[in-house]
């Protein structure tokens, strides 16, 4: 698939030189920092050396005082509190964090948790969950990563004498907010909390931060829960900027030094010979926690995260998560193949601007993953639906710059339920409405998705030469981590490369080579281009080429070297390179 290369506009020389001098870094590093909004010594210090003191006052969040007061009343009257979280990583980590904090730090045992069943209850707060609370005499429900779109459920709970505190980060419907005791959601109107992109677990953490003061919980004990916040924040793909970056920075330190037993079990199973990164959390820890709710029930993942040191059940619980994850991968592969074949065989999809794919027997637990896989092959907003409880239900995934939630909202009259955000959403509709929804959604996408956005893009941070790649350069840009949305691993353009005679294809069509500039062939770097073996013949013949890449550290046979992780390769004159 051809990709458009977009490079951030070169900055003024004086500006870059000034910052480089002030903080003693190279010119490319200074340019990278300025493009990330870092313009002076103090901003650079905060960026390179995050501090927990940079976290915002939780009382700035709308309704936080109400939430704290209601929780303190529950504790004072020894009321039972139920933590109700969604069945994904965000909800599960949030539930584990809250239950652990109340039991371990407050020694308050009148708590329980509830995770809805993906297949019988669906996303978020359910009537079954509230009935469970009523039948077990819970007087307060604190919802985590859900609740903002559940006014009917909150009203039902109120009629049963159960209060609600909502901790959510999804976009609210301001015209129909739940009548809860408190709504903690920085995205709601009137909320002056300065950072809007917390995960659901992150919002729950702010409640614990606010509670810690009147309950006399030390900062050291509070921050011991940042490993869970980091897993949530990384896995939910929220921006790693501002407060999130601070939370993940310190959360990763905990994961790598003193994680809770459940996370440590997953970490040790991976057997990495280095510290875990954001990418490792996303691809190793997150999927195993997610797989519990996708294949069986999220309760199993919560129990693993709540386990204590030396718990003899940890190996069995981890095995179950690993088995669930293996089953999830098989389903993912099989259903993705079926979805791609469906596109190939359907004439409508060949002309459409979107994909709304439905099969009644697809597994509900992997439809979101499949939607992402389809986008990798066909760059279009995609919704994958299956049948559940007599309805069509599924997940939407978007492409860069397109608001899939808004497009779904434009079809609301055909839907029974929907929710989410710009990049991902969930929908439920009557089976008989699937075809009409497919056509309407495609009309909306076609009208609102600009033609120039329909080619996948690679954003380039900086153009460099091989001479500028030094151990010190890599050391400094490594300190830009943790990397994630809003603070991605720097992407570089390097022009006019050639490869030597050791170029070869390895693994599943990966291109392995050693590259240099034609004028300085003594300066050589190893490079790997995943899934790009189709370029082998041309490169092996000696053709010059340009690459877009990250820089990685490679350890092999005890030797450490820097190599290029190539994202894309081109042979033309780059006359269509876009500057922005």
Of 396, 388, 397, which is closest to residue 429 (Cα–Cα)?
Answer: 388
Return the CATH architecture of domain 346-453.
Roll (3.10)
Reference 517, options 499, 537, 540; nearest CA is 499
Cα R_g (the chain), whole angstroms = 25
* Dist CA 185 CA 501 (whole Å): 57
CATH number of 58-322: 3.90.1640.30
Beta bridge partners of 428: 393, 417
Q: Is 253 exposed, middle or buried (0-12, 13-18, 19+ CB in 10 A)?
A: middle
CATH 3.40.190.10 fits 457-579, yes or no: no
Report the sign of the C-alpha dihedral through residues 452, 457, 462, 468, in that order: negative
pLDDT at 109: 95
Note the pLDDT of residue 137: 98
Q: Measured between alpha carbons, how far is residue 115 from residues 12, 92, 300, 504 in Å? A: 53, 8, 10, 49
CA distances from 568 to 244, 372, 464, 533, 534 (A): 30, 20, 16, 11, 12
Could you read off the pLDDT tens digit of each residue along the chain, which spans 580 residues?
Answer: 689 999 998 888 999 999 999 999 999 999 999 999 999 999 999 999 999 999 999 999 999 999 999 999 999 999 999 999 998 999 999 999 999 999 999 999 999 999 998 878 877 899 999 999 999 999 999 999 999 999 999 999 999 999 999 999 998 989 999 999 999 999 999 999 999 999 999 999 999 999 999 999 999 999 999 999 999 999 998 999 999 999 999 999 999 999 999 999 999 998 887 899 999 999 999 999 988 877 777 899 999 999 999 999 999 999 999 998 899 899 999 999 999 999 999 999 989 999 999 999 999 889 999 999 999 999 999 999 999 889 999 999 999 889 999 999 999 999 998 887 788 899 999 999 999 999 999 999 999 999 888 999 999 999 999 999 999 999 999 999 999 999 999 999 999 999 988 899 999 899 999 999 999 989 999 999 999 999 999 999 999 999 999 999 987 787 889 999 999 999 999 998 988 8
Is there a contact between 118 and 294 (Cβ–Cβ < 8 Å)? yes
Strands (E) in 335-480, as ranges, are 355-358, 382-388, 391-397, 417-420, 424-430, 457-460, 462-463
DSSP string, 288-306: HHHHHHHHS-THHHHHHHH
- What would the two tokens of residue 130 be? 């509230």
Query: Which single residue is written with the structure tokens 């940890």?
Result: 314
pLDDT of residue 1: 67
HEC sequence for 108-120: CCCEEEECCCCCC
Where, residue-wise, is CATH 3.10.310.30 in the chain? 346-453
Q: Who contacts 246 (Cβ-Cβ below 8 Å, separation ≥6)? A: 50, 51, 52, 54, 55
Identify whether the C-beta of residue 146 lies closer than 8 Å to the C-beta of residue 86.
yes
Distance set, CA 526 to CA 148, 512, 536, 553 (Å): 50, 8, 15, 10
For residue 335, what are the contacts with CB-CB under 8 A and spacing of at least 6? 359, 362, 363, 366, 367, 370, 384
Q: Where are the beta strands (DSSP E) in 336-423?
A: 355-358, 382-388, 391-397, 417-420
* pLDDT for the residue numbered 257: 95
Domain(s) of CATH 2.40.50.460: residues in the chain? 457-579
Running DSSP on this structure, what letter comes out for residue 484? Answer: B
Q: What is the pLDDT of residues 360-403, one digit of tens each?
A: 999 988 999 999 999 999 999 999 999 988 999 999 999 988 99
On whether the CB atoms of residues 304 and 262 are closer than 8 A, the answer is yes
pLDDT at position 10: 83
Q: CB 566: neighbour CB atoms within 10 A?
A: 23
The ranges of the chain annotated as CATH 3.90.1640.30 are 58-322
Specify the residue for token string 């293996």. Answer: 326
Q: Give yes or no for a contact between 123 and 330, defined as CB atoms under 8 angstroms apart.
A: no
In order, the DSSP letters of 12-81 are PHHHHHHHHHHHT--HHHHHHHHHTT--SHHHHHHHHS--GGGSPPGGGSTTHHHHHHHHHHHHHTT-EE
Whole-number Å distance between alpha carbons of 364 and 388: 8
φ, ψ for residue 46, nearest 5 deg? -65, -35
Residue 398: C-alpha distances to residues 122, 265, 377, 384, 393 (Å):
21, 33, 13, 12, 17
Let me know: does 58 contact 206? Beta carbons within 8 Å: yes
**How far apart are alpha carbons 179 and 199 in whole angstroms?**
22
Q: What is each CA distance from 100 to 105, 258, 306, 563, in whole angstroms?
A: 8, 16, 6, 42
Task: Specify the length of the chain in residues.
Answer: 580
The torsion region of residue 446 among left (phi > 0), alpha (psi -120 to 50) and beta comes to alpha
User: What's phi and psi for 101, nearest 5 deg?
Assistant: -60, -45
Find out whether 183 and 200 touch, Cβ atoms under 8 Å: no
């Amino acid at each position: 698939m051809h990709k458009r290369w977009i490079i951030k506009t070169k900055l003024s020389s004086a500006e870059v030189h000034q910052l480089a001098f002030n903080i003693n870094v190279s010119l490319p590093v200074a340019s990278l920092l300025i493009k990330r909004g870092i313009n002076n010594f103090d901003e650079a210090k905060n960026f390179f050396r995050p501090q927990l003191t940079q976290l915002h006052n939780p009382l700035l969040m709308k309704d936080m005082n109400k939430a704290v007061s209601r929780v303190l009343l529950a504790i004072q009257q020894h009321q039972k509190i139920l933590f109700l979280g969604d069945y994904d990583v965000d909800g599960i980590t949030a539930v584990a964090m809250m239950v652990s904090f109340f039991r371990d730090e407050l020694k308050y045992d009148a708590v329980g948790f509830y995770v809805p069943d993906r297949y019988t209850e669906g996303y978020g707060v359910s009537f079954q969950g509230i009935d469970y609370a009523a039948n077990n005499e819970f007087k307060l429900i604190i919802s985590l990563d859900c609740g903002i779109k559940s006014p009917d459920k909150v009203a039902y709970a109120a009629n049963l004498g159960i209060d609600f505190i909502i901790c959510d980060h999804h976009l609210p419907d301001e015209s129909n907010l739940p009548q809860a005791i408190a709504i903690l959601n920085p995205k709601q109107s009137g909320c002056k909390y300065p950072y809007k992109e917390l995960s659901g677990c992150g919002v729950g953490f702010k409640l614990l931060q606010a509670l810690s003061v009147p309950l006399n919980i030390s900062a050291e004990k509070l921050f011991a829960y940042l490993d869970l916040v980091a897993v949530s924040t990384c896995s939910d793909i929220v921006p790693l900027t501002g407060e999130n970056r601070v939370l993940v920075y310190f959360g990763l330190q905990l994961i790598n030094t003193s994680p809770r037993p459940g996370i440590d079990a997953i970490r040790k199973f991976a057997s990495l010979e280095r510290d875990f990164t954001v990418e490792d959390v996303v691809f190793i820890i997150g999927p195993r926690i997610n797989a519990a709710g996708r294949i069986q029930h999220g309760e199993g993942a919560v129990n693993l995260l709540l386990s204590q040191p030396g718990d003899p059940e940890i190996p069995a619980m981890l095995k179950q998560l690993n088995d669930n994850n293996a089953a999830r991968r098989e389903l993912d592969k099989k259903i993705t193949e079926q979805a791609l074949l469906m596109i190939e065989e359907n004439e409508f999809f060949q002309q459409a601007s979107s994909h709304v794919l439905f099969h009644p027997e697809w597994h509900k637990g992997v439809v979101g993953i499949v939607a992402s896989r389809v986008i990798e092959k066909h760059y279009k907003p995609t919704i994958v639906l299956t049948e559940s409880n007599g309805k069509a239900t599924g997940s939407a995934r978007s492409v860069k710059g397109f608001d899939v939630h808004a497009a779904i909202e434009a079809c609301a009259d055909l839907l029974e339920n929907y929710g989410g955000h710009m990049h991902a959403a969930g929908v439920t509709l009557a089976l008989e409405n699937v075809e009409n929804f497919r056509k309407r959604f495609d009309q909306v996408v076609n009208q609102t998705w600009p033609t120039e956005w329909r080619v996948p893009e690679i954003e380039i941070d900086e153009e460099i030469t091989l001479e500028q790649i030094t151990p010190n350069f890599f050391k400094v840009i490594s300190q830009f981590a943790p990397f994630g949305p809003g603070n991605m691993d720097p992407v570089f353009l390097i022009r006019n490369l050639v490869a030597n005679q050791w170029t070869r294809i390895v693994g599943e069509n990966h291109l392995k080579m050693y590259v240099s500039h034609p004028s300085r062939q003594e300066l050589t770097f190893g490079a790997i281009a995943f899934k790009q073996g189709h370029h082998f013949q041309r490169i092996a013949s000696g053709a010059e080429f340009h690459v877009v890449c990250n820089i990685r550290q490679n350890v092999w046979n005890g030797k450490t070297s820097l190599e290029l992780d190539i994202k894309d390769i081109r042979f033309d004159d780059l006359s269509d390179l876009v500057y922005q």
